[in-house]
Chains A and B, each alone.
Chain A
Amino acid sequence: MKKKRVMFILALAVLLAFLFVGVAADLIAPWDPNAVDMANSLAGPSRAHWLGTDHLGRDLLSRLIYGSRSSVFIAFFATGCTLLVGMTIGLVSGWLGGWPDQLIQSVVNIFQGIPSTAFVVAVLGLLGPGMRSLLIAIVVSSWAGFSRIVRNQVLEVREQHYIEGARAMGAGGLYIVRRHILPNILLPLLVLIATRIGSTVLTVAAMSYLGLGLRAPASDWGIMINDAKLYYIRYFPVLLAPAACLTLFCLSINLIADYLRDRLDHDDGAARML
């Protein structure tokens, strides 16, 4: 357990480092990520360019740093929005019960009936590429899974005696949801939130790679991998660097989720969800 704790703290540190680098990109990045220098294209590491340059002579490290800004921030923001939408709908569904619950659950079933990548791509294709479309696509394609798990948690919690007690003391519905239900379901949800942030980073990178996500001059790791696909044979780091960042990010997310899952070790939906 102790070893896991160390890994957890390390992973958390990596995650925070990515966040920090994203926030402070303007201060840290040694170069303008879009400064083209054709004379220096695909150059190896040097004192000026620590990781070398890409096919347009842009500084690889600076592009990674700014890429971390877009990738990580979109992922956090999109997960936040999904959480908000999914949790609200799940809370309403689970708390109301009866036919509203059935109705909402059938809608959830339908939204879950389309594999999420296909869903994201279709929505992006219809709305056109860009940051806003990307956010909408991610929320539309993933709120359902979230809300289902929240709803199942609510159903479990609302049968507890302390809820009955609160009601007997005259507490209103909204009060009970806010003070008793929400705090009790939030902790198990952490695992889900963590894994969702990881998968959203991947989705964003994948869509940018396909040219459906961010558009130049904005850039993220997916765009960097797309840029690299013709040139990595000549200078491997153009591909390796963004791929390594993505992997490191997902690895830290997975370790955090593992640790939380172990700690919570409920035999319930949120903890078992991967």
Chain B
Amino acid sequence: MNQTLRYIGKKLLWTIPILLGITLLAFALGLIARGDPAVNRASADPDYIPTEEEIQALREELGLDDPVLIQYGRWLGGVLRGDLGRSLIDDKPVLDELLRLLPNTLLLSVLALAVIAAAGLLGGICLSLFRDSFLDVAGRVVLVFLMSVPGFCMAYFMIWLFAQKLRVLPTSGADGPENFIMPCLAVAIGSACVVIRLLRSSILGEMGKNYVLTAQAKGLRRGQIILRHVLRNALTPSVTYAANAFGGLLGGSMITESVFSIPGIGSYALTAISKRDYTAIQGYVLFTGFAFVLVCLLADLICAWLNPKIRLGG
């Protein structure tokens, strides 16, 4: 128990410098942005050409003349208070906008994770249970093909099939649950295929171990051995991979959101980029980075729970 707590504590402590580093990186990305944000904002109205004095005043208002470290400190202070700054274009608080758009992205990511987990577990166990049978061989051919189809090609193909030809699903928007079926599949299928393959190969890798021999000697059937003994040990790489995919999705899948016109974090970032809104881009990088790191931390803890060797091994 003590060692477990120590493991969790260590993991948590290690996360802090990484999060700090991400704030630094997000800030630096903003710094190297091309163009002068003061000019950008002052010239947001295309019919009006700002004078040099107005630009200078705005620059002072935004604190762009201060030394870099002071700017970082001020920005970090804001971040810690939950203030990611205001959009340079429409002056709305970045965090509020991100939180407003989060539910759509969150829904999409959670649904995708559910698909990945369900398909991964089911597929991985089935294929390893019927190793080298027709199911396994054919299944692997399908998997390697499906994981090679890029997500956005899959998205368009599904729109063509389900929305244009069969007319069973809507093409775009985020009004109801039926709007999320295709986007969710588009982002989940590739990762699901990878997880199935990963799980299959790690289950088969475990099958050669001595404890499996023991279980066989006790007279357990192959299915029982896999479900009761092997699965828990074989799950870690798949959990890590799925968590990576989920963490990435939380940052908004820009392409899927833009193909299906879902207003989410990804489309927010795209708008920010097309308008050179560097506080918004900073906020976006920070937000996705934090989400990603925290999801990966959670995955590490789940792996340690699944496999005590990880937490006890030091």
Contacts and interface: CB of A to CB of B under 8 A. Distances in A.
Interface residues of B, number: 52
Contacts of A171: none
B276 to A, nearest CB: 8
Interface in A232-273: 232-233, 236, 239, 243, 246-248, 250-251, 253-255, 258, 267, 272
Contacts of A236: 160
A123 B255 contact: no
Interface stretch (B17-25, B84-92, B94-102): B17-25
A14 to B, nearest CB: 11
A122 B29 contact: yes
A210 B30 contact: no
Interface stretch (B119-127, B176-184, B265-273, B306-314): B265-273
B108 interface: no
Given A110-B18, A229-B156, A243-B153, A115 B292 contact: yes
B93 interface: no
B185 interface: no
Contacts of A111: 25
Interface stretch (B43-51, B55-63, B215-223, B282-290): B282-290
Contact of B17 (A106, A205, A211, A225): A106
A36 to B, nearest CB: 24
5 contacts: A111-B25, A115-B248, A123-B29, A243-B149, A274-B241
Contacts of A122: 29, 269, 273, 281, 284-285
Contacts of B273: 121-122, 124-125, 212
A37 B284 CA distance: 42
A258 B143 CA distance: 12
A241 to B, nearest CB: 11
Given A126-B32, A126-B278, A254-B144, A246 B17 contact: no
Contacts of B237: 272
Interface of A: 106-107, 109-111, 113-119, 121-128, 202, 205-206, 209-212, 225, 229, 232-233, 236, 239, 243, 246-248, 250-251, 253-255, 258, 267, 272, 274
Nearest to B296: A113
Nearest to B147: A254
A274 B194 contact: yes
Given A126-B30, A247-B148, A247-B153, 13 more contacts: A106-B21, A110-B18, A111-B25, A114-B22, A114-B289, A114-B292, A115-B288, A118-B248, A126-B281, A210-B254, A210-B258, A243-B153, A247-B150
B288 A114 contact: yes
Contact of A243 (B156, B241, B276, B293): B156
B264 interface: no
Contacts of A107: 21
Interface in B222-249: 237, 241, 247-248
A111 B278 CA distance: 19
A225 B152 contact: yes
Nearest to A115: B248
Given A110-B18, A122-B281, A125-B273, A117 B156 contact: no
Nearest to A107: B21
Contacts of B284: 118, 122
Contacts of A109: 17-18, 21
Nearest to B156: A239
Given A115-B251, A117-B251, A247-B153, A110 B21 contact: yes
A118 B22 contact: no
Contacts of A117: 248, 251, 253-254
Contacts of B150: 202, 205-206, 243, 246-247, 250
Contacts of A110: 18, 21-22, 24-25
B157 interface: yes
A118 B157 CA distance: 24
Given A126-B34, A229-B156, A254-B144, A118 B269 contact: yes
B292 A232 contact: no
B194 A251 contact: no
B252 interface: yes
A114 B255 contact: no
B144 A258 contact: yes
A210 B156 CA distance: 14
B279 to A, nearest CB: 12
Which of A107, A116, A127, A250: most chain B Cβ within 10 A? A250
B156 A232 contact: yes
B286 to A, nearest CB: 9
A233 B157 CA distance: 11
